[in-house]
Structure 1
């Protein structure tokens, strides 16, 4: 039965395999937004492998090495009738499907929240394993390092959905702050950090309790984030002011602020964790920040570099354009594009898996 197979796959993830896998060939999954699909690309050549169709307005895509499941969040909302008519995966019985979509015992999320869908996808074959109804349009998603939890941000609902990937169900809605945008994990699989663009904070969420432990002040409009591999530092893109903030996670205090200039969007750390690469959407540039001395290297790239992801064990960046339907493959050392490939719609939150 598909559900049992899926549960077994997630529950038996090996952390040893997760870290060893980064040296292997990598596959990049590019959600195509208004293209209503996910493009699957060879991380070395940039050639298309396949396209996963029938996924409306996917902006958020979460995944983690060693976990063969992707979590795709739709930014489109559906009505209550549509929620009951969610397509039943072929290998799920009618009784199981009906039980899954039965009226919940309690309301999750704001009482006036709309409805949207999270799709759990087999990363190897592209099959949709399960669709889960969540309270409101989904912006970004994240999967915990151990594959136990998925988190989806709901900007209109001022909170995040928490999905148990073993039980395959929505288990909690956690209010975080105004307009939650991005979610990122560090070393602890039970803790996720959520940027709240509407009130300039980052919420530290305890997933086992379903609560916010604390809120960190994070500039004016925090969006994308990345955690340093040490687990002690969080880098936050304060988007419209064009700053990257360095927050110490033990104290919650801001240590440094890097002035990138212009509106910024995606960011990521290089393999050696010595440099931070930032997509300068407002000024058509990529910026590399040396984290030892704060010096910056800039290179023109446009129009509107948007989301970016680094391929571990390589010198490559994948950077999408918000203005054109394409993704650049960029040399991380020089910040120069080496090639590009077309997408349908817009390239949003990309995931790299071995």
Structure 2
């Protein structure tokens, strides 16, 4: 399957007004990045990029965004402050998922058609290394400590575990049918959305044991809620945002969205989540205290992935 086909509560106790922040929404159809003021909940700028952008990651200081373009083998460097494209590079293959090392020294890019991870210098956008993984690496995630990279190898039904210090693949963990989105921000677990399996796989970092939580049609995005034993999951075909209680292993809340919800991000400082709704051309803001929709922000055509600068 091509990468393009693959793209197809409890009271939590947050309080106070929303803090000012910046959300970047990458729109595949418009070939554009919309810059959203999260306090005002409006688009403050629109930045044109090359065609069919697919993935985004931020430098550790939030000053730069790096965007992949699988159709043309391109990587874009965007200056967040000036809202301009400062560099592009043809890195080859079909660059799709992307993650930045916490120390700022490297980018890691999944080559969908090449079944490999590219290590890239963020200053020059030059490829400095390659590593074979499973088939069709989709999203990537790095452990907060910066030692381990996880790759959702969609067509291998597995997640690769990569030691970054040696840039070697340590193991491959079977997780379910077609893992796609990942979140590794939890201290103890990695979440993988199995888009063909209708479930989320939870990998224990210490021993690589896997548990799966079902009940969804096509889970596409996952995000841990910081400091809570909770996980948010977008169900693209179901048109919902689901809240999973990880201690119980069940879906406890389901919020109807529509518009083919894709990626989801959590702002742990404000207790809000942001959901990119692909077909609805909007980003929906969800208040996690009561799990309700706080706002719908119109954006460019085909929003699929996002990055949040607190």
- Provide TM-score, normalisation by structure 1: 0.67
Distance 2:175 2:211 in 1: 10
Query: Are residues 67 and 135 of structure 1, via their aligned partners in 2, closer, same or farther at CA, if it must alter by over 3 Å?
Result: farther
Aligned to 1:150, the other structure's residue is in SS state: strand
Equivalent position of 2:107 in the other structure:
192
1:215, 1:257 → 2: CA distance? Answer: 17
> Residues 158 and 175 of structure 2 are in contact (CA less than 8 Å); yes or no, is this contact kept in structure 1?
yes
The answer to whether structure 1 residue 303 and structure 2 residue 243 are counterparts is no
Choose from 84, 92, 95 the match for 1:180: 95
Structure 2 equivalent of residue 322 of structure 1: 236
Deviations 1:70-100 (A, max 9, x none): 11111114xxxxxxxxxxxxxxxxxxxxxxx
Question: 1:267 offset after TM fit, Å?
Answer: 2.0
CA distance in 1, matches of 2:265, 2:80: 18
Q: Is the 8 A contact 1:194 1:205 kept in 2?
A: yes
Mapping of residues 78-89 of structure 1, within 5 Å: none
In structure 2, the CA distance between the partners of 1:139 and 1:350, relative to structure 1 (3 Å rule), is same
Q: Which is richer in helix? A: 1
Deviation at 1:162, TM superposition (A): 0.7
Counterpart pick for 1:207 among 109, 115, 122: 122
- Contact preservation (8 Å) 1:72, 1:141: no
TM-superposed CA distance for 1:258, in Å, is 0.4
Matched residue of 1:334: which SS?
coil
Once the two structures are superposed, what CA deviation does each residue of 1:22-77 show, in whole Å capped at 9, x if it has no partner? xxxxxxxxxxx99xxxxxxx9949xxx99xxxxxxxxxxxxxxx982111111114
How far is the alpha carbon of 1:291 from its aligned partner? 2.4
| 1:260 maps to which of 152, 157, 175 | 175
Shift of 1:244: 0.4
Matched, 1:220 2:126: no
1:254-281 deviations in Å (ceiling 9; x for gaps): 1011011321122223632x22222222
Rg (Cα) greater in structure? 1
Moved more, 326-335 or 239-248: 326-335
The structure 2 residue matched to 1:75, chosen from 9, 28, 33, is 28
Alignment of 1:283-302 (within 5 A): 283-302=197-216
1:313-352 aligned within 5 A: 313-352=227-266
| 1:240 partner SS | helix
Q: Give the match's secondary structure for 2:261.
A: coil
Q: Residue 239 of structure 1 corresponds to which residue in structure 2?
A: 154
Give structure 1 stretches of 5+ with no counterpart: 1-32, 35-41, 51-65, 78-115
Shift of 1:349: 2.0
Identify the residue that residue 113 of structure 1 maps to in structure 2.
none
Using a 3 Å threshold, how does the CA distance of structure 1 residues 323 and 173 change in structure 2: closer, same or farther?
A: same
**Contact 2:144–2:184 (8 Å) recurs in 1:** no
Query: What displacement does 1:166 show?
Result: 2.6
1:137 Cα deviation (Å)?
Answer: 1.4
Matches within 5 A, 1:10-21: none
Q: Tell me the equivalent position of 1:123.
A: 38
Q: CA deviation at 1:218?
A: 1.9
- Matched-pair contact (CA < 8 Å) for 1:270–1:277: no
Alignment of 1:138-149 (within 5 A): 138-149=53-64
Give the strand-richer structure, 1 or 2: 2
The alpha-carbon deviation at position 335 of structure 1 amounts to 2.8
For these two proteins, the number of residue pairs brought into alignment is 259
Cα RMSD for the two superposed structures: 2.6
Preserved contact between residue 67 and residue 147 of structure 1 (Cα < 8 Å): no
Q: What are the ranges of 5 or more consecutive residues in structure 2 without an aligned counterpart?
A: 1-6, 270-310
